[in-house]
Amino acid sequence: MHPNALLDLSTELLRAVLKLDAPADGVVSAFFRKHKALGQRERHTLAETVYTVLRQRPVLQHLAQSGSGPTERRLAILAWQGSASFLRGALSPKELEWLDQVAQIDRETLAPKLRHNLPEWLAEPLMARLGEAEFWALAASMNEGAPLDLRANVLKAKREEVQQALKQAGIAAEPTPFSPIGLRVEGKPALAKLEVFSSGAVEVQDEGSQLLALMLAPKRGEMVVDFCAGAGGKTLALGAAMRNTGRLYAFDVSGHRLDNLKPRLARSGLSNVHPAQIAHERDERVKRLTGKIDRVLVDAPCSGLGTLRRNPDLKWRQSPQAVQELQEKQRAILDSAARLLKPGGRLVYATCSLLEAENEAIAEAFGAAHPDFIKLDAAEVLQKAQVERAGELVEGGCLRLWPHRHRTDGFFAAVWERKA
């Protein structure tokens, strides 16, 4: 494809994504469906350029002010993730001169908000929690892409066997540092066509998400509920841990998300999973299980701000008001989920948020309102689940994962046991 044509397409795609009225990954996928002739390398350049703009929007908008022509074109030029010589072939002499001038600017001399590239309402509580040095390490990690984490399906293969199968396909995978069932792959290799993937021996799942399933630690023959199952990554990990015995209910308010679970479920070989769409947390289907369940995982709807390496648009699409509304929902869901547990049953509340408002604040309020639930120490729970270096993952008795410390998405989890 001619350099001009690809730069024009990236300008068009950026214009659509920067409206911020829909998740960026969906907008990018729809754009690629419309432009079927694009090759793999061209798609990679377009997608990564867009994600770079989303990660670094404040600084790039600041630098783009000095240029001329459409703003989206200037942003695409500054964020370009393809070949530099290819890009230069698409630029006018005036644009080339401007790009070289911008390259001379030392970004370390710019204002803090142009260096951390986070909205102030998010930067302030993170700076207060982490302190100066760690905050900047977190901000830097958020501007990088995430590695690809995989989970060995223990029903079908050991981690070492999956690692060997990937190696034979030319894909280098290293064991994850904490999860005993995880593998980490750098880059984005095409897995879908591999036999090890189509057979269900391996599933894509962030290491942090694997740790949540390990914390719930379901046993053979138990009754277990994944309360906000979504597309079912944790559901599949729980079903495998149960060795395909007992009953595992996958509840979600979104039928569309549960539909995405179906092909994954078919590959996994699990027959103990029962997906069910519910209208809300007090649905009759939920009420019928009151006091009957051994373990409940609540991976609550949240701001998703722990996943900014994958979903950088979230920091511009979320707001303090949205977080406040989510807190009400989180409290209501956790209360309803707790009613399902038998005496002696285990409850895990988790989010992929970095904010105390969605994490510790919700867990503390629940603990205060439910004296019949005893908080367990997450480090002990993780150690029992054979998690490596469990102590490094825990703050204040809760799981607390940070992208800059642990190379996972940002996760929080608190765990309780109902008094016998």
Strands 247-252 and 223-226, how do they pair? parallel
Distance (Å, rounded) from C-alpha 71 to C-alpha 399? 42
Decide if 352 is catalytic: yes
- Cβ 79 vs Cβ 43: under 8 Å: no
Q: How far apart are the first and last CA of the chain?
A: 67
- Cβ 267 vs Cβ 255: under 8 Å: no
- Cβ 304 vs Cβ 353: under 8 Å: yes
Q: Which of 376, 358, 359, 375 is nearest to 367 (CA)?
A: 375
The one-letter amino acid at 48: E
Q: Under the phi-then-psi rule, with left for phi > 0, alpha for psi from -120 to 50, and beta for the rest, what region is 154?
A: alpha
Residue 43: count of CB within 10 angstroms of its CB: 14
Question: What is the SS3 assignment for 396?
Answer: coil
Residue 413: strand pairing partners = 350, 399
Q: Which of 228, 302, 352, 398 is catalytic?
A: 352
Question: What is the SS3 assignment for 249?
Answer: strand
Residue 296: strand pairing partners = 225, 347
Residue 130 is encoded by which pair of tokens? 């982490």
| Catalytic (active-site) positions | 352
